[in-house]
Chain A
């Protein structure tokens, strides 16, 4: 059985998440995947992101988020998966998802999962840019993270 919570150095699979989000009464399945983008930065274009976590506390927080998603949205299955270590451009850094009887709660639960993960789980990122090459365009106006 695929665990609902994972902090892993291994690649993440959306297909595996969809498989994990199955159950006889779970007709609504919503999955979010965040992928590392090649944003332009003053030091060059982003080629990877290094993720680190306070793993013990992060797992505790993720378990709490899972518990609330099940109670608040009636989610029968939940996935909260995040990479740690180096994640290259194009790779998936995070997968969250929920399976509920109907779509409205599945969408709401999936949104809750990713927003709460970003807000309260101790995971940090360091962008790695290609050295020695200036960005090909002006820095992005986006101030958010390069994944998701």
Chain B
């Protein structure tokens, strides 16, 4: 059985910086704080770090306002760089 992990979806500048559209980050069954997840992403993909600093984070279709929020295996977690519609 695969170890618990969180799938992170990367869009636009985040995808370009990491050179992939999604990545799996290992996590304990109880999850981890969004801030820790973001730090792990920055360590694994140094080019992504500057994009992460200006991005919003979305968990299960809700924008996070508190990075202490826990993200658990099975959650949908997305990195949203600044929007540019219109």
Contact = CB atoms under 8 A, between A and B. Distances in A.
B11 A122 contact: yes
Contacts of A117: 85-86
Interface residues of A, number: 25
Contacts of B86: 34, 82, 93-94, 114, 117-118, 123, 145, 147-148
Contact of B85 (A57, A118, A126): A118
Interface in A120-148: 120-126, 145, 147-148
A82 B81 CA distance: 18
Contact of B12 (A114, A120, A124): A124
Nearest to B15: A52
Given A57-B61, A60-B61, A122-B80, A52 B85 contact: no
Given A54-B80, A56-B61, A57-B58, A125 B9 contact: no
A124 B84 contact: yes
A57 B77 CA distance: 11
Contacts of A145: 84, 86
A117 B84 CA distance: 9
Interface residues of B, number: 13
27 contacts: A54-B11, A54-B58, A54-B78, A54-B80, A57-B58, A57-B61, A82-B85, A82-B86, A93-B86, A94-B85, A118-B83, A118-B84, A119-B83, A121-B83, A121-B85, A122-B78, A122-B80, A122-B83, A123-B83, A123-B84, A123-B86, A124-B83, A124-B85, A125-B85, A126-B12, A145-B84, A147-B86
Interface of B: 9, 11-13, 58, 61, 78, 80-81, 83-86
Given A93-B86, A124-B11, A124-B84, 16 more contacts: A34-B86, A52-B11, A52-B12, A53-B85, A54-B9, A54-B11, A82-B86, A114-B86, A117-B85, A118-B83, A121-B85, A123-B84, A124-B85, A125-B84, A126-B12, A147-B86
